[in-house]
Amino acid sequence: MPQNGCCVYCKCTFQRSPYRPQQAVCSRPECQRRRRADYHRRKLEVDPEYRQVVRDSQKQWWDEHPHYQKQHRQKNPELIESNRQRQRGRDQRRRVQRLVRNNLALNLKPSISEIWLLGPRVRDLDRNNLASAQVLILPAVGHLPADVCPS
């Protein structure tokens, strides 16, 4: 007689298969998709032969579809702009990481307070900064009117 189980993903109760008493995932498509993705991820980490088969399969697909990316971008121009925005964010994070690595000052007296540098000039901080600071980079929400000057 099959027992009830609790799905590890959605936490819903389900009836286990009599043929798979160790079943831990319900039959909902989203839970099954997550189960397969987790299996694939684990298998890639531990099985070099499986990893090579996946790599060869991907290479074969790209060899058979060399113009896929160009055509996909032409059909979806909004992807180009969203990719540019994400790249700008990655570039900003890289500049901040470079700042942290190039910082010559040490925090000799830790404090509860933090320093936040805000504004349009934050991107210029990738010069050698001699003071320890935590940088919070916020995307522009909107433009200020021309007659308003930020202080």
User: Tell me: the pLDDT tens digits for 73-95?
Assistant: 999 999 999 999 999 999 988 88
The angle at the Cα of 117, spanning 116 to 120, to the nearest 5 degrees, equals 145
Centroid of chain to Cα 42: 19
For 49-59, write each residue's pLDDT tens digit: 999 999 999 99
pTM, two decimals, is 0.50
> What is residue 140's predicted lDDT score, i.e. its pLDDT?
58
Residues 123/92, Cβ–Cβ less than 8 Å: yes
Task: Note the pLDDT of residue 3.
Answer: 81
Map out the domains of the chain as residue ranges: 1-66
